Chains A and B, each alone.
Chain A
């Protein structure tokens, strides 16, 4: 039995096939395909777009080659500056940690009395590091430049510095005689006034 006869045996299938075969592509389908094909052909045939892409890429590549060393230079300068800053901060940090009392004194002098100039105060040997001393001196110099002191203030600061050193070390410097030590009342008065 042929396939056609078999199909005809089933009326449902036959009707479906007849209807199917009568279906056509929508009108203007071939024209639409032709239009799309034309667009495709134009973009393929015209190499201008490729030239533009190529030129753009080359321009960006040249820019990158030219700008990259300059960027690295800037970056290295920035890194050097950051390293310098970090070393300065490192130098200053131990001083703050190891000598809290002078800092307190300085802050007091900053607010109330004119800032500090370091008088020649006897330092217990081995108590402060060189770095701490250096940073302290730098701080004092800066404060001095900003606010010059009169003689009385200098004397007060000297006394306070000595006291703070004693408090820190719990020892009286050997270089000082008992007569040189300020009286307790003087110290109290000094703290009260400040």
Chain B
């Protein structure tokens, strides 16, 4: 049986089915969380941001008019919340990172590794211009198709391909330089 589409879920939710919203959350929670991790300085912040995105979705979906895909709307909300969060926390970024390391010592090894990994992703992504960042995150990291990426970013597929081509060239240069640096260090 084919899975219910996002739009169908939202229609059910608007008709009063709270379970439909829960399904919608479970369907997108990992993706939203990962994207938040890639845009923020801390994985703990990413949990809060992802939660805030779904809460805003819950409030805002009542006004959803189905002109766009629900995930497009969710992605835009994520960008806004991440920007707000980064603006708010950029000044005490270092303190935030220290607190993250101190918090939950039992889960430190796993959280610390995940945090480190996400910081690497963030560092790679930040090498690119904003539009290329979006394309690489959705197409390469999230594994979405060119069509899905174009729908999410509200642009043509050709635009996605062009951005992707430039972005991959940039990243290849970046990784080559990185490998040369590592080889030199060894």
The residues of A with any CB-CB pair to B shorter than 8 Å are: 3, 6-7, 9-13, 16-17, 19-21, 23-26, 29-30, 32-34, 36-37, 40-41
Q: Does B41 contact A (CB under 8 A)?
A: no
Q: Mark B42-59, 1 if CB is under 8 A from A, else 0.
A: 000001001100110011
Contact call A29/B33, Cβ cutoff below 8 A: yes
Q: Mark B115-127, 1 if CB is under 8 A from A, else 0.
A: 0011011001000
Chain B hits for A23, CB < 8 A = 30, 33-34, 37, 114, 117-118
Q: Does B168 contact A (CB under 8 A)?
A: yes
Output the nearest chain B residue to A36 by Cβ-Cβ distance.
B55
A25 to B47, CA, bound (A): 8
Tell me how far the C-beta of B162 lies from the nearest C-beta in chain A, rounded to whole angstroms.
12
Chain A hits for B38, CB < 8 A = 20
With A3-B140, A23-B34, A29-B50 known as contacts, the answer to whether A13 contacts B175 (CB < 8 A) is yes
The residues of B with any CB-CB pair to A shorter than 8 Å are: 18, 21-22, 25-26, 29-30, 32-34, 37-38, 47, 50-51, 54-55, 58-59, 114, 117-118, 120-121, 124, 139-143, 164, 168, 171-172, 175, 178-179
A30 to B121, CA, bound (A): 25
With A10-B172, A10-B175, A25-B29 known as contacts, the answer to whether A20 contacts B117 (CB < 8 A) is yes
With A16-B120, A16-B124, A30-B26 known as contacts, the answer to whether A25 contacts B33 (CB < 8 A) is yes
A125 to B169, CA, bound (A): 112
Given contacts A16-B121, A30-B29, 7 further A-B contacts (CB under 8 A): A3-B168, A6-B168, A9-B172, A21-B141, A21-B142, A33-B25, A34-B22
Chain B hits for A11, CB < 8 A = 175
A24 to B47, CA, bound (A): 11
A41 to B18, CA, bound (A): 10
Q: Which of the residues B30, B55, B171, B172 comes within 8 Å of A37, measured between beta carbons?
A: B55
